[in-house]
Amino acid sequence: MILELKDINTFYGSSHILFNLSLAVEEGETVCLLGRNGAGKTTTLRSIMGLTPPKSGAIHFKGQEISRKSPTAISRLGVGFVPEDRRIFPSLTVREQLEVAQKKGKGDWNLEKIFAMFPQLERLQKHLGNQLSGGEQQMLTIGRTLMGNPELLLLDEPSEGLAPLVVEALAEQIKRLSEEKITLLLSEMGLGLAVNMSHRAYVIDKGQIQWSGTCEELKGNEELKIKYLAL
């Protein structure tokens, strides 16, 4: 088990957001966390990354307790986070943003490999961050995170705000990551991108896991989709 959350409770100030939440991800798996806006998806990923640490419960990465570690320490252990708001640097070029993020890890990600996966970034490598479209920014954010050579990649709503054709292209690139032996945990509101590339799914609502199972089981469960995903 590469990642395990056990009964975590996370707060924003006095607001209780996650309630005894548990989930697990096997090494090499792609798992999706699905739920409506405000269900607790982002808070779950932020809890794992140490950005919003849980007040109770435990988070283990490769058997090591990380719920009291800093985001920097968690990143160094091999966890990469692609936030929903992307957080690219507007005044740095694409190439500079990739280079500044490079660090050693178990993987072999470098500029050449990033450009092979995202050819568009190679063509845009001299462009500034503020000259990129939403889809290009998302590719850059994923590429930048991969330059840290993570073993576990957290993706927070990677298709948010992107045109359908861009989402389709991005989905193919994310699928290729599973072939690189990177474990993926991604959150999404809808079924499309996430379910079609994941092995298993968790459905979250009001800060609690309401269902877990295979993506095929989820696709056939109309009642669940209507109740928790508004589909």
CATH number, domain of 127, equals 3.40.50.300
Report the DSSP pairing between strands 56-61 and 183-188: unpaired
Rounded Cα gap, residues 12 and 90, in angstroms: 29
Q: Which residues pair with 9 in a beta bridge?
A: 56
Q: 3-state DSSP call for residue 18? A: strand
**Between 231 and 150, whose confidence is greater?**
150
- Asked if the model's pLDDT at residue 151 lies above 90, the reply is yes
Which domain covers residue 72, as residue numbers?
3-229
Number of domains in the chain: 1
Rounded Cα gap, residues 189 and 204, in angstroms: 10
Average pLDDT of the chain is 92
Percent residues over pLDDT 90 in the chain:
72
Q: What is the largest CA-CA distance in the chain?
A: 49
Please, are residues 215 and 200 in contact by the beta-carbon 8 Å criterion? yes
Give the pLDDT score at 163: 82
pTM score, whole prediction: 0.93
Give residue-wise pLDDT tens across range 67-82.
999 999 999 999 999 9
Q: Long-range contacts for 17-20 (Cβ within 8 Å, ≥24 apart)?
A: 17/43, 17/207, 18/43, 18/44, 18/47, 18/54, 18/207, 18/208, 19/206, 19/207, 19/208, 20/57, 20/208
**Count of alpha carbons within 13 angstroms of residue 13, beta-carbon side:** 1
Give the pLDDT score at 173: 85
Give the pLDDT score at 231: 54
Query: What is the Cα gyration radius of the chain?
Result: 17
Give residue-wise pLDDT tens across range 12-43.
999 999 999 999 999 999 999 999 999 999 99
Rounded Cα gap, residues 120 and 61, in angstroms: 33
Rounded Cα gap, residues 29 and 185, in angstroms: 8
